[in-house]
Amino acid sequence: MQCPNNVPEAVETGRGFGRSGRAAIGYDYDTFAADLNTLIEVLDVTDVVLAGFSMGTGEIGRYLGSYGPDRIDKAVFIAALEPYLLRTDTNPAGLDGVVFASALAVAVKDRYTFLHQFCADVYNTDETLGIRVSGDVIESSWQVACSGSAYASVAAVITWATDFRTDVAKIAGYDIGVLIVHGTHDRILPIDATARPLRALLPRARYVEIPGAPHGLLWTYAEDVNHELLAFLAH
C-alpha cells in the first residue's frame, strides 16, 4: 500500500523496491494484488482506505477487480495508471507502444541514466526545480530508485501497459468512495490518457485536477494533495 507524504521512499514500496524482497518473478499486477490481499488478510483489517500513487494505483485497481470491496471503505488514485495506458484500436487515447519500447531499451542498457531522466520527468524539473522542489530531493529520489532491484527496475516498465479496464468496470459498481487526483502537467502518465478517461468510467468518484502539477505532485504540490486527501477521508 502506498500513502502520499513527502518521503521519497513512499514512491514505490512493492516487491523489488524499498524494503521488500528482491524477487526475480511476480512483476505483474495479478501478483502485486495478491501480495496486497495477503497483507490485508493476515492483518485481518476491514474498512480499509487504499491510497495508491502511480504504479500503486494499478495495484489497488487490480486488487479491487480481483478480490472485491468487502474489506475496503475508500480507494484513492493519485497520478493514476488506469484505465489503460497503451494505445490500441479500442483505446485511442493511450500512448504509442514505441514509448514503452524506448523506455525499456534504455532501462535495460543503463538503468542509472534511465532513472536520472525519469526523475527529471517525474518532477518536471525544467518547471519546478528551485521553485517547488530542490535538487536534493531529486538526488534523493534517484538514489532511492537506484536502491531497488535492477531486475525490478526493468520489469516495472513492462507493467505500464497493463489493461485495467475490466477492473475499473467492476469498481464502478462497488459502493465505496473513490478519489482521483492528477496533475495537468503529468509527463509520465499524461492526464488525457489516464485520469480523464478514468473519471469517465467512474463518474461517481471525486475527481480533482491540480493545474500545473507534474507526476511527482506528492512533493511539488503536497499541500494541495494533502488537502484533498484529508477532505476525502473526513467525508
Catalytic residues: 54, 186, 215
Which SS3 state, helix, strand or coil, does residue 34 take?
helix
Q: In terms of Cα–Cα distance, which of 31, 33, 38 is closest to 75?
A: 33
Tell me the C-alpha distance between 26 and 117, whole Å. Answer: 26
Phi-psi region of 195 (alpha: psi -120 to 50; beta: other; left: phi over 0): alpha
Cell of 151: 531486475
- CA dihedral for 160, 223, 63, 165, sign (positive or negative): negative
Residue ranges of E strands in the chain: 48-53, 72-78, 177-183, 206-210
Pairing verdict, β 206-210 and 72-78? unpaired
Distances (CA, A) of 160 to 55, 77, 154: 8, 15, 11
